[in-house]
A and B are shown apart, each in its own frame.
Chain A
Amino acid sequence: DAGVTQSPTHLIKTRGQQVTLRCSPKSGHDTVSWYQQALGQGPQFIFQYYEEEERQRGNFPDRFSGHQFPNYSSELNVNALLLGDSALYLCASSYGAGGYGYTFGSGTRLTVV
């Protein structure tokens, strides 16, 4: 049973560019959340998708957007990249609300130069 799969694992982008990160949830899970983890910090909630709609959003600018597809997979898009966007981006999936905890992927390490 595959867990949460994220791609790519590492990425280097130039300031001002756009990036798309991808996530496939664990089999049987229908909810996908995205988190940003800066170096030495705990993860920060970006947003959550359920039934192809953004259900909840954290304190992130509109440059961060997402999408969920009918097969429950998800994409995170970041426009106009800033140096401060360099971080580990974690995808987490759950069935429904997630009160039993999320299953996390291994993340995408984004470096903006």
Chain B
Amino acid sequence: GQQVMQIPQYQHVQEGEDFTTYCNSSTTLSNIQWYKQRPGGHPVFLIQLVKSGEVKKQKRLTFQFGEAKKNSSLHITATQTTDVGTYFCAARSFKAAGNKLTFGGGTRVLVKP
């Protein structure tokens, strides 16, 4: 079946620094979504990317969908303590039946003040 890999699994970031987390799929995707889960909370939708090469920004967060629609990235600039949490990508393949999304393993972000 479809596999979605996220790297790194853990990210320790100094406050103020930038970092990037990556999401890679074994199949071509119709769209990809990103979610953030704060410690003790539940995943909350951040954004959806649909078009090849698409780039979307939300304040300090930049989301990119690869040209081949097999990978995506989330880049955070000037990390703040409020960025702590686990970031998940969720991918929908063209081959996927019904409305099934496959989640990556997540990148857990810890921020050092």
A is bound by B: no
Q: B-side interface residues toward A, CB under 8 Å?
A: none
